[in-house]
Structure 1
Amino acid sequence: MATDERPSLRRFFQRLTASEAELDAQELRRESADAGCVPARQCRRGEVASVSGRLRTVVYTPRTNLPTLEADLFDGTDVVTLVWLGRRQITGIEPGRQLTARGRVAVRDDRKVIYNPYYELEPPR
């Protein structure tokens, strides 16, 4: 077997034995890289970052002073929580939706957060 055939054969067996979640994460990582975004695991506090992925959860949190809409964005490497202050809902922000978000990364309760991000929704699939 030629040496250049081994990597493709290895990839074939990896895909054959990978779980659906692993394959989904690989696809999300590829799409994020194609969009020119930073992997979520590489985002650091204080940086302005663009991240792309799929919304896992969307939760409205009624707080006494300021209601918030929070969504967990997964890009195949890590989760970044997007927080819109003063919002109860945003059309199109729903679990399963793909989007690209940009903003300054903060850390809250050991979780990466972007407050009031600029975002672009991807067309539904």
Structure 2
Amino acid sequence: GMIKRAALARALALDPELVFLDEPTSGLDPIGAAEFDELIATLQKTLGLTVFMVTHDLDSLYAICDRVAALADGKVVAAGPIAAMLECQHPWVQAYFQGERGRRFENANGKSRQALPGSG
């Protein structure tokens, strides 16, 4: 986790308005990933930073993102707030956000779909 934090610090030293993150929590244990997500969310708020993130981690999506684009077969098949992803009829998007992983996230965090960021 320290290497990822150092890389982020190097990027932020240039005082960017936009930061690109590619799978920022990959290779981190769940606690380290949650801490990194919290750091990113804090930086977004305090620095007014825009974060463009590529991830497969639902925990990171819910912690950081206010808008999501879902890709399937090399195309954007859905875009919008996470709540919109839950309403999307595309089979891949449904399987990802409403499938087993989505239910595990919901159960572990005690959140209903109506209480998710971007749903209200």
TM norm structure 2: 0.26
TM-score, normalising length from structure 1?
0.26
Structure number with bigger Rg:
1
